[in-house]
A = this chain, B = another copy of it.
Amino acid sequence: MALAVKALFFDVFGTLVDWRSSIAREAEALLKPKGLALDYPAFADAWRGEYQGAMEEVRAGRIAFCKLDVLHRRNLELTLKRFGVADLSEDDKRKFNLAWHRLDAWPDVARGLARLKRNYLLAPVSNGNISLMVDLARRNDFTWDAILGAEIAGDYKPKPRVYLAAAAAFDLGPQACMMVAAHSSDLAAAAALGLRTAHVARPNEHGPGRGEAAPTVAVDIAVKDLEDLAKRLEV
């Protein structure tokens, strides 16, 4: 396998970064000084809860493709309303929305990517937009060969076009690419197109014990983190 695979494609939210703790922290930092006492992890869950529905509008062709930042902003408005937060300024909401650019990585990621980069081309194939990926990379020392994913493809995963556009950008067939994700649905979509797949356990993505500790679909490799993946692919 190590010989046949040339590029590794990474899911980002949940797989590389702990969005839930980071968004909860950012929500608290913004709202607490205003005298608002919220369940911040619940706020993070609710904001993230609007994610698939918003992208489905694009995937189904009901609205034109727009960056995930734009969908996040729409979802922020819905979530603020649901939590009864009514008086944020435009500037505060703009800043709040960029919380997704300030997510922290799981502790194994920077080291794992640096090691994987010795033998593979590396790119995020995320639904996040380019500027969001760039900010996360700067913050967390991710080392990419290119930023691929939804913005390059003009559509959102799990639409086939997103995986195929990434492989095409590297001049590779799907079988020379491996999708790395903590979500079985992402891996199933990639595998259906001929990509190889690696599942990363993130058992606490949605809170303690609420994440995929193991894949629910057939994958080529299942690993506990990116350092484990590097080790396995070096054999």
Q: A69-B171, A151-B169, A171-B69 are in contact. Are A134 and B145 (CB under 8 A)?
A: yes
- Residue in B closest to A169 when the chains form the complex, CB atoms: B130
Does A111 belong to the interface (CB within 8 Å)? no
Please, which residues of chain B bring their CB within 8 A of the CB of A170?
A: 130-131, 134
Q: Do the beta carbons of B151 and A130 come within 8 Å of each other?
A: no
- Residue in B closest to A133 when the chains form the complex, CB atoms: B146
Q: What CA separation (Å) do A131 and B168 show in the bound complex?
A: 9
Q: Do the beta carbons of B145 and A137 come within 8 Å of each other?
A: yes
Q: Do the beta carbons of A131 and B69 come within 8 Å of each other?
A: no
Min distance, Cβ A235 to any Cβ of chain B, angstroms: 23
Q: Do the beta carbons of B121 and A171 come within 8 Å of each other?
A: no
Contact of A145 among B129, B138, B152 (CB under 8 A): B138
A136-156 interface bits toward B, Cβ cutoff 8 Å, 1 = contact, 0 = none:
011000001111100110000
- Residue in B closest to A7 when the chains form the complex, CB atoms: B134
Please, which residues of chain B bring their CB within 8 A of the CB of A171?
A: 69, 131
Min distance, Cβ A132 to any Cβ of chain B, angstroms: 9
Q: A151-B169, A152-B152 are in contact. Are A146 and B130 (CB under 8 A)?
A: yes
- Residue in B closest to A143 when the chains form the complex, CB atoms: B143
Q: What CA separation (Å) do A145 and B147 show in the bound complex?
A: 8
Q: Do the beta carbons of B121 and A169 come within 8 Å of each other?
A: no
Min distance, Cβ A114 to any Cβ of chain B, angstroms: 13
Min distance, Cβ A139 to any Cβ of chain B, angstroms: 12
Please, which residues of chain B bring their CB within 8 A of the CB of A146?
A: 130, 133-134, 144, 146-147
Q: What CA separation (Å) do A152 and B145 show in the bound complex?
A: 15
Please, which residues of chain B bring their CB within 8 A of the CB of A145?
A: 134, 137-138, 147
Q: A152-B152, A171-B69 are in contact. Are A121 and B147 (CB under 8 A)?
A: no
- Residue in B closest to A148 when the chains form the complex, CB atoms: B130
Please, which residues of chain B bring their CB within 8 A of the CB of A130?
A: 146, 148, 169-170
- Residue in B closest to A137 when the chains form the complex, CB atoms: B145
Please, which residues of chain B bring their CB within 8 A of the CB of A138?
A: 145
Q: What are 17 of the A-B contact pairs (CB < 8 Å)? A: A69-B171, A129-B169, A130-B146, A130-B148, A130-B169, A131-B169, A131-B170, A131-B171, A133-B146, A134-B146, A134-B170, A138-B145, A144-B146, A146-B146, A146-B147, A147-B147, A152-B152
